[in-house]
Amino acid sequence: MPPRKKKETKPQPMKAILWASADKLRGSLDAAEYKHFVLGLVFLKYVSEAMSEKRAQLEAELRSGGGIIAELGFEDEAPEELILQTLEERTQYTGAGIFYVPPTARWEVVLERAKGTLGDPSLGKVIDTAMETIEKFNSSLKNTLPKQYNSGRVDETTLAGLVKLLDRLTFQAQVGKDGRRVGARDLMGEVYEYFLAQFALQEGRKGGEYFTPASVVKLLVEMLEPEEGERVLDPACGSGGMFVQAEKFIEKHDGDRFNVSVYGQERNLTTWRLAHMNLAIHGIEADLGEEPADSFHSDQHGGLKADVVLANPPFNISDWGGERLGMDDRWVYGTPPVGNANFAWIQHMVSKLAPGGRAGVVLANGSMSSKSGGEGDIRRAMVEGDLVACMVALPAQLFRSTQIPACLWFLADGKGRHSKWVRGRKGEVLFIDASKMSELEPGSRTVKRLRLEEINRIADTFRAWRGAERAGVYEDVPGFCRSASLSELRDHDFVLIPSRHVGMAEEAIDPDAESVEEKVSRLASALRDNFEESERLAKVVEEQLRRVQ
């Protein structure tokens, strides 16, 4: 009898595999811990596959006698020893933006151990050792990778099943024809968001963890337009998704993504570690500080002045320790209220701007109109100081983990004076109402996202308004955008809600439409006909009643 063919495993969507991985962990870990446990394994598989892809491409080149082998003077195939040595040279990978993973720490080693018989060393020990080895070879990841797999909290059989399950994850090609890493999606951020949304919403809300939707991050970056050679800062960086999108933007516009300085800060230890992993798999060199820390009380980048600052800080937090910072030098526009950190975040970011720098901040809608605790006075001082460039009202339902409606603030140091980013707009603020835009995310009945064409429309409008090259001429569009003067903003008591300023959208005029006079005449005639028909039917009913009597 011939041997049975091995049944091929069909590819599954990432979310289906993540859901199944949670099933594996139920009973061993609390729901809020699933993401921490799975993220490390996803990271290991991702970086291993990227290296394997680059390794295969490099080996094919070496065995063909081209590239670096020809440079070394070998006309034909190089000696096997040299090929194997070259395949393990760390710089062959890091120079192409690919993460180097030492041989004993690669995914295939972990997978083979998961498929083998249980024994010493345990699978948990193999994984923890892999994480330790990667940290030793990559100083930027020191003390950031999870090493909890040999703790005994998850038994060996369950852990082996989890590894084999996650082996089904498939990723897009990560190496281009030129041998360099191609732009990757924000994978770690996606995994983190999924677990946050499905299993850890309460933990996230308590911790202020509002994962920034991909379409909002893209809009922020498209409007701020980071360039190579600039310093980019996110003082509430979360999983590092802002940096990933900024890198994509620079590459898209033919810039060198390696020629950008990235700085971030995050106070949550787990998220800080996640950011290191996320940036590592994208080949992004970043300074996230010596340790996880609070930006208000332990600024990890004290002397930094950044060209671009962008962030989605936690909304409306009241326990930010404002009572200890009453006379802080950052409060140039006014002391923020102790009970709400919104305007503390804005002023902290402004304090980090280099001359002519720019910032984009995601905040709760209340920041546009609140007057409690002196917030109205701070907002007025910022507008009169010609710092505010643009306000964007976002659609509802963009965030998975909070229903708080949000907006975008865009700030420009030296607007109307020495700013090269905003030209000729002294004493003006652009308002964009995008609250009616968006579509439902595929497969969701509640969560929305901005369409690409909507993102482009908003960004192009802002580019035209601020006088960017080849951006066209800006024009107000009723119901969508309007440039308001300082005197108008005073009349509105410095309330910066876009719908207050853009007006109502003009209704399209149909040249074939019926005129008002014609419509009134037609309806009057129809009404008279209905009266006549009503009288006729009344007579018929009367006649029938008489016959019955």
Q: Answer yes or no: is 316 within a domain.
A: yes
C-alpha span between 92 and 89 (Å, rounded): 6
Q: Answer yes or no: is 68 within a domain.
A: yes
Is pLDDT of 77 > 80?
no
Q: Which of 110-119, 196-205, 370-379 has maximum average pLDDT?
A: 370-379
Question: What are the φ and ψ backbone dihedral angles of 407, each rounded to 5 degrees?
Answer: -140, 170
Q: Give the structural domain span for 294.
A: 190-502
C-alpha span between 540 and 524 (Å, rounded): 25
User: What is the tens place of the pLDDT at every residue in 305-328?
Assistant: 999 999 999 889 999 999 999 889
- pLDDT mean over 238-243: 87
Widest CA span in the chain: 121
pTM attached to this predicted model? 0.79
**Residues 288 and 344 grouped into a single domain:** yes
Type of residue found at 542: E
**Residues 237 and 330 grouped into a single domain:** yes
C-alpha span between 97 and 229 (Å, rounded): 17
Q: Write down which residue in 149, 182, 215 finishes a domain.
A: 182
**Residues 458 and 439 grouped into a single domain:** yes
- pLDDT mean over 284-292: 90
Helices (H), 213-341: 214-224, 241-252, 269-281
Cα of first residue to Cα of last residue in the chain, in angstroms, is 96
**Residues 295 and 358 grouped into a single domain:** yes
Q: Indicate the number of domains in the chain.
A: 2
**Residues 352 and 486 grouped into a single domain:** yes
**Residues 388 and 458 grouped into a single domain:** yes
Q: Would you state the pLDDT for residue 513?
A: 60
Q: Compute the mean pLDDT over every residue in the chain, rounded to the nearest whole number.
A: 84
Q: Answer yes or no: is 491 within a domain.
A: yes
Q: Write down which residue in 127, 152, 182 finishes a domain.
A: 182
Q: Answer yes or no: is 521 within a domain.
A: no
| Banded pLDDT at 188 (limits 50, 70, 90) | low
**Residues 130 and 254 grouped into a single domain:** no
**Residues 402 and 291 grouped into a single domain:** yes
Question: What are the φ and ψ backbone dihedral angles of 288, each rounded to 5 degrees?
Answer: -100, 20
C-alpha span between 183 and 173 (Å, rounded): 10
Q: Answer yes or no: is 462 within a domain.
A: yes
User: pLDDT above 70 covers what percent of the chain?
Assistant: 85
C-alpha span between 241 and 211 (Å, rounded): 9
User: pLDDT above 90 covers what percent of the chain?
Assistant: 45
| Alpha carbon distances (Å) from 212 to 15, 234, 348, 404, 442 | 18, 13, 20, 13, 17
- pLDDT mean over 251-268: 85
**Residues 299 and 194 grouped into a single domain:** yes
| Alpha carbon distances (Å) from 326 to 267, 329, 334, 339 | 21, 9, 10, 13
User: What is the tens place of the pLDDT at every residue in 438-476?
Assistant: 999 887 888 899 999 999 999 999 999 999 988 999 999
Contact 34, 195 (CB under 8 A): yes
Q: Answer yes or no: is 2 within a domain.
A: no
**Residues 163 and 284 grouped into a single domain:** no
**Residues 178 and 194 grouped into a single domain:** no
| Alpha carbon distances (Å) from 490 to 366, 381, 410, 439 | 18, 11, 19, 35
Q: Answer yes or no: is 161 within a domain.
A: yes
Q: Which of 122-131, 197-206, 210-219 has maximum average pLDDT?
A: 122-131
| CATH number, position 228 | 3.40.50.150
Q: Would you state the pLDDT for residue 189?
A: 63
**Residues 224 and 91 grouped into a single domain:** no
Contact 352, 304 (CB under 8 A): yes
**Token reading at 357:** 């720098």
**Token reading at 30:** 């609390």
Tell me whether strands 353-364 and 306-311 are parallel, antiparallel or unpaired. Answer: parallel
Q: Would you state the pLDDT for residue 445?
A: 85
3-state secondary structure of 449: strand
Is pLDDT of 197 > 80?
no
Least confident stretch, 60-74, 347-361, 516-530: 60-74
- pLDDT mean over 247-271: 85
Q: Write down which residue in 182, 211, 236 finishes a domain.
A: 182
| CATH number, position 137 | 1.20.1260.30
Half-sphere exposure of 296 (CA within 13 A, CB side): 23
Kindly report the length of the chain. Answer: 549
C-alpha span between 449 and 57 (Å, rounded): 37
Q: Answer yes or no: is 196 within a domain.
A: yes
